[in-house]
Amino acid sequence: MTSTGFKVTGVLVVVLLFVFMLLLGTVFENVDADEIMVVQHPTNGELTWYTTPGIQWQGFGKVTIYRKMSNTTLDSKIQFNDKGTGVMKGQFQLELPLQSEQLTALHTKYGSQEAIERSLVKPTIDKVIYMTGPTMSSEESVASKKTELIRYITDQIENGVYRTSQRVMTVIDPVSKEQRSIVLAEIVLDTEGKPERQEQSALSEFGIRIVNFAPSDIDYDAVVTEQFKRQQDITMQVQTAMAQTREAEQRKLTAEATGKADVAKAQYEKEVQKIQAVTEARQKLEVATLAAQEAEQYKRQQILEGEGTAAKRRLVMQADGALQQKLEAWTAAQHAWADAFSKYQGAVVPTIQSGSTSQSNGAVNFMEILGAKAARDLALDLKPSTRVGAE
């Protein structure tokens, strides 16, 4: 082979490699774990779905990629039965089915992920939110029925829009306090108490699920916002007045309680003083009683001792004839006259004597007479006892 032939062959090989590289992207396709791929074959237009990750056969067919789950923002208008309006904002996740029949229906009708979100999901959610608004007032949507609003919306997205009936009712405007009429949409319930559906959910028809529906806020219009502000001011004033009333009532109760406590304390102190006085009086009475008993006992002791002493003396005197006492009395009498006689300065006997010549001594006679008198007074026999000699 000539050099020219080698050159031609080399060029052909390079061209073939270049064409192969260009066509390689239409022969095989890589599917990620979070993707769904559909291949439309170029010859018969048949759709082949791939929901598992890996390298998949394309065969020069048309490839369309869908996301198994995608994040979507929420931005839907809502109107309440009091004519208040707003925009509900937030986010949710869109989960596509994995069954070929449902995917084929979605792909045939919408053809892309963006079209599904724009032409199916968003209108469905907008309709549900708008139809849910008339079931409550704008005030209720931020207070008493806030959780019910979210529950109503998610239930209708999954299962279909509620069938409602309209009822005109009169309410009191919370700001102006005037009566006004509103059209209230009430959910129609079946015999089992479950909501009746006006239509089936378009999303559930295709097997689409809305996950983690999370409204973050509702941007109310200026009129509603101003009404909320005025109502909040009124509520704050009412709450302040109520708080002041409760505070005044509490002060009154506190004052009454303090007064009652003071009265109770004074009564208690008086009662304590009374108890102390009674206790002291009882103590004094008990002491006096004990003292009287002690005195009575002492008196009885003294009487008994006196009676004992008297009885003893009486018995002694009966035994010896009160000899000791008589002797003491006689001795005292002898001392008395002896002392008196010793102090006598006159003559004991007369200085002139006539008649008898008796030699008796006058002093001796005087002493004998006094002794005999004392013995007689005391009934004392001073003679020696005859019984002694007899004995």
- Quote the pTM value: 0.53
pLDDT band at 328 (very low <50, low <70, confident <90, very high): confident
Domain assignment present for residue 290? The answer is no
Domain count, the chain: 2
H helix or E strand, kind and range, residue 263: helix 222-320
167 lies in the same domain as 200: yes
Q: In terms of C-beta density within 10 A (0-12 exposed, 13-18 middle, 19 or more buried), how is residue 257 classed?
A: exposed
Stretch 243-271: mean pLDDT: 82
Domain assignment present for residue 271? The answer is no
Q: Could you tell me which residues are beta bridge partners of residue 76?
A: 88
Domain assignment present for residue 262? The answer is no
Residue 58 pLDDT > 70, yes or no? yes
Pick from 220, 242, 275: which residue ends a domain? 220
Phi-psi region of 389 (alpha: psi -120 to 50; beta: other; left: phi over 0): alpha
Domain assignment present for residue 356? The answer is no
Backbone angles phi, psi at 175, to 5 degrees: -95, -55
Instruction: Give the residue with greater pLDDT, 125 vs 371.
Output: 125
H helix or E strand, kind and range, residue 93: strand 85-95
Q: 82-129 pLDDT, tens per residue? A: 888 999 999 999 999 999 999 999 999 999 999 999 999 999 999 999
Stretch 280-295: mean pLDDT: 86
Of 65-79, 270-284, 362-376, highest mean pLDDT: 65-79
53 lies in the same domain as 139: no
pLDDT at 283: 86
Instruction: Give the residue with greater pLDDT, 227 vs 276.
Output: 276
Residue 232 pLDDT > 80, yes or no? no
Residue 388 pLDDT > 50, yes or no? no
Backbone angles phi, psi at 180, to 5 degrees: -150, 160
CB contact set of 143 (below 8 Å; sequence gap of 6+)? none
Domain assignment present for residue 386? The answer is no
Q: Which ranges constitute the DSSP H helices of 25-135?
A: 100-109, 113-116, 122-132
Q: 194-210 pLDDT, tens per residue? A: 999 999 898 999 999 99
pLDDT band at 262 (very low <50, low <70, confident <90, very high): confident
Pick from 189, 220, 251: which residue ends a domain? 220
Domain assignment present for residue 208? The answer is yes
102 lies in the same domain as 59: no
27 lies in the same domain as 101: no
Pick from 28, 49, 64: which residue ends a domain? 64
15 lies in the same domain as 105: no
Name the CA dihedral angle for 135, 140, 146, 147, rounded to a multiple of 10 degrees: -60
Residue 24 pLDDT > 50, yes or no? no
117 lies in the same domain as 56: no
Residue 338 pLDDT > 90, yes or no? no
The Cα–Cα gap between 217 and 84 comes to 15
Q: Which residues of 72-96 are buried (b: 16+ CB within 10 A; e: fewer)?
A: eebebebbbbbebbbebebebebbb
Residue span of the structural domain in which 33 resides: 11-64
Q: Could you tell me which residues are beta bridge partners of residue 92?
A: 72
* Mean residue pLDDT across the chain: 80
74 lies in the same domain as 161: yes
76 lies in the same domain as 42: no
170 lies in the same domain as 35: no
CATH number of the domain enclosing 181:
3.30.479.30
pLDDT at 362: 61
Residue 81 pLDDT > 60, yes or no? yes
Contact 57, 35 (CB under 8 A): no
Contact 121, 94 (CB under 8 A): yes
184 lies in the same domain as 209: yes
pLDDT at 252: 83
The Cα–Cα gap between 215 and 358 comes to 171
Amino acid at 324: Q
CB contact set of 75 (below 8 Å; sequence gap of 6+)? 87, 88, 89
172 lies in the same domain as 205: yes
133 lies in the same domain as 23: no
Residue reference for tokens 């999303």: 203
A 10 A CB-CB count for 162 gives 22
pLDDT at 163: 93
Q: Are strands 47-50 and 35-40 parallel, antiparallel or unpaired?
A: antiparallel
Tell me the C-alpha to C-alpha distance, in Å, between residue 108 and each of 46, 70, 103, 238: 12, 20, 8, 61
